[in-house]
Amino acid sequence: MFLSAAMANVAITFYISFQYISGAYELYTYVHPIGMASVLLIYPSFYQYVLMITGQRQFKLRLFLPGLGMGVASAFFFWGLLSSEGQVYFLTEYRINPEVQSWLLSANMMFRYFNLLLLGRTELKTK
Give residue-wise pLDDT tens across range 53-112: 998 888 888 889 888 988 898 888 888 888 888 888 877 876 666 676 777 777 777 777
Bigger pLDDT: 71 vs 122: 71
Is the pLDDT assigned to residue 40 strictly greater than 70? yes
Q: Which residues fall within 8 angstroms of residue 93, CB to CB, at 6 or more apart? A: none
| pLDDT in the model for residue 79 | 87
For 5, 58, 98, the CA distances from 93, given in Å and listed in that order, are 34, 44, 8
How many separate helices (H) and strands (E) can be counted in the chain? 6, 0
DSSP 56: -
Q: Which residues fall within 8 angstroms of residue 48, CB to CB, at 6 or more apart? A: 2, 6, 59, 60, 63, 64
For 108-118, what is the mean pLDDT?
A: 74
Q: Residue 23 region, left (φ>0) first, then alpha (ψ -120 to 50), else beta?
A: left
Give residue-wise pLDDT tens across range 1-36: 889 999 999 999 999 999 988 988 888 889 988 988
Bigger pLDDT: 92 vs 115: 92
